């Protein structure tokens, strides 16, 4: 485990922000910390990256303790914060070279590294322009490039795509996948389920400073049950007749019934045949696979539940 955190507690004044969080990340994987605003994601990341001391608990990154060996930890990690940290009045290239120099690279090495990264993040055309002229997507890319100057083993990304348009978001995702394929470990926070679903090997859901659930994406989805068929009827009377026939769940929509399903075609046939024999017309059928949204909603609305998968 390249990141090992146990029993993290942090309070600001009387507000408990983290209330006993354990977190383990295997080298070369993507770990997503998922939660609503104010769940404690950023605080957790700041502790993991030596920027904040935990009140209780310990963190080791690549074997180094974040409090006692902060300098060593800093030499193996990099952090990209929630808000882009760039000098607007410097060019993209100057920003990168500056970081290289602060990593104690020689000037030629820092310049070479800057050029490599500019190429990799498709910023060569803009490299001699001041950053204030960059678009949102370009700024995020440069920001990520800034954290890669040092070739870190673990990269922390705090909400890497918040506020980006869909196409910039896809570009960011590709860049993150690229990093993983070169063996880098990534710990990211996000409030987008889709992002966690697409990128992460393991997800930890936190809410109110506690771990609500953690595990692989598939394991988390199976927590909220299997597939479901949603049947839509034309009139409420039909809904009642169908509900008497089938083992059904009622949702918020009075014209829709949810039927637990194993997802097979055979089950779908049987349900529709039963309804036809009983003379209940179905207007529409849709099959519903559990999404992380379901997990998210079911766990963040009842906040004392804790599931370990």
Partner 1 sequence: MTTTAVHGGARNAVGDSLTMIGRSIRLSRRNVDTLVMSIVLPLLMMSLFVYVFGGAINTGTRYINYVVPGIILLCTGYGAASTAMSVTDDMTSGMIDRLRSLPIRSSAVLTGHVVASVTRNLLSTTLVIGAAIAMGFRPDATVTDWMQVAGLLLLYVLALSWLAAGLGVIAKSVESASTLSFLMLFLPYLSSAFVPTNTMPTFLHAVSEHQPITPVIETVRGLLTGTPIGTIGWIALAWCVGLLTCSFTFATWLFRRRTRG
* Shortest spacing between CB 98 and partner 1, in angstroms: 6
In the complex with partner 1, which residue's Cβ is closer, 90 or 223? 90
In the complex with partner 1, which residue's Cβ is closer, 102 or 236? 102
User: 241 phi and psi, to 5 degrees?
Assistant: -65, -40
Task: Specify whether the CB–CB gap between 80 and 147 falls below 8 A.
Answer: yes
Nearest residue to 183 via CA among 148, 217, 142, 141: 148
Chain residues binding partner 1 by CB under 8 A are: 46, 49-53, 71-72, 74-79, 81-87, 89-90, 94, 98-99, 101-105, 109, 130, 146-147, 150-153, 183-184
Nearest residue to 94 via CA among 117, 68, 128, 52: 128
In the complex with partner 1, which residue's Cβ is closer, 148 or 213? 148
Contacts of 276 (CB under 8 A, 6+ apart): none
* Shortest spacing between CB 19 and partner 1, in angstroms: 18
* Shortest spacing between CB 117 and partner 1, in angstroms: 14
* Shortest spacing between CB 220 and partner 1, in angstroms: 30
Nearest residue to 80 via CA among 167, 179, 204, 10: 179
Buried b (16+ CB within 10 A) or exposed e, 140-164: bbbbbbbbbbbebbbbbbbbbbeeb
In the complex with partner 1, which residue's Cβ is closer, 19 or 55? 55
In the complex with partner 1, which residue's Cβ is closer, 78 or 190? 78
Q: What does the alpha-carbon distance between residue 79 and residue 51 come to, in Å, rounded to a whole number?
A: 10
The structure tokens 């009140």 sit at 55
* Shortest spacing between CB 46 and partner 1, in angstroms: 7
In the complex with partner 1, which residue's Cβ is closer, 89 or 286? 89
In the complex with partner 1, which residue's Cβ is closer, 151 or 289? 151
Nearest residue to 259 via CA among 246, 241, 274: 246
Helical residues (DSSP H) of the chain, grouped into ranges: 41-48, 70-76, 92-102, 107-120, 136-148, 166-181, 193-199, 217-223, 236-245, 265-277, 292-301
* Shortest spacing between CB 160 and partner 1, in angstroms: 13
* Shortest spacing between CB 202 and partner 1, in angstroms: 21
Nearest residue to 200 via CA among 224, 225, 217: 217
Instruction: For residue 127, give both structure tokens.
Output: 């490299």
């Amino acid at each position: 485990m390249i990141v090992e955190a146990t029993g993290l507690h942090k309070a600001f004044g009387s507000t408990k922000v983290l209330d006993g969080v354990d977190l383990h990340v295997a080298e070369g994987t993507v770990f997503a910390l998922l939660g609503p605003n104010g769940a404690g994601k950023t605080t957790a990341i700041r502790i993991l990256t030596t920027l904040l001391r935990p009140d209780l608990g310990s963190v080791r990154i690549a074997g180094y303790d974040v409090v006692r060996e902060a300098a060593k930890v800093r030499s193996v990690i990099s952090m990209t914060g929630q808000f882009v940290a760039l000098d607007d009045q410097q060019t993209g290239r100057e920003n990168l070279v500056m970081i290289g120099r602060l990593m104690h690279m020689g000037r030629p090495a820092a310049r070479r590294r800057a050029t490599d990264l500019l190429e990799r993040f498709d910023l060569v055309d803009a490299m001699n322009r001041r950053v204030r002229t960059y678009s949102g997507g370009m700024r995020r890319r440069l920001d990520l490039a800034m954290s890669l100057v040092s070739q870190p083993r673990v990269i922390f990304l705090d909400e890497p795509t918040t506020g980006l348009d869909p196409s910039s978001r896809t570009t960011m995702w590709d860049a993150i996948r690229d990093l993983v394929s070169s063996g880098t470990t990534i710990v990211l926070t996000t409030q987008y389920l889709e992002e966690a679903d697409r990128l992460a090997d393991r997800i930890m859901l936190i809410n109110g400073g506690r771990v609500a659930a953690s595990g692989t994406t598939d394991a988390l989805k199976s927590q909220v049950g299997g597939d479901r068929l949603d049947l839509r009827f034309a009139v409420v009377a039909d809904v009642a007749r169908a509900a008497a026939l089938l083992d059904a769940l009622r949702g918020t929509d009075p014209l829709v019934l949810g039927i637990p399903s194993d997802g097979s075609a055979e089950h779908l046939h049987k349900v529709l045949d039963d309804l036809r024999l009983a003379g209940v017309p179905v207007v529409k059928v849709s099959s519903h696979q559990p999404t992380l949204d379901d997990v998210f909603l079911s766990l963040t609305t009842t906040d004392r539940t804790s599931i370990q998968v």
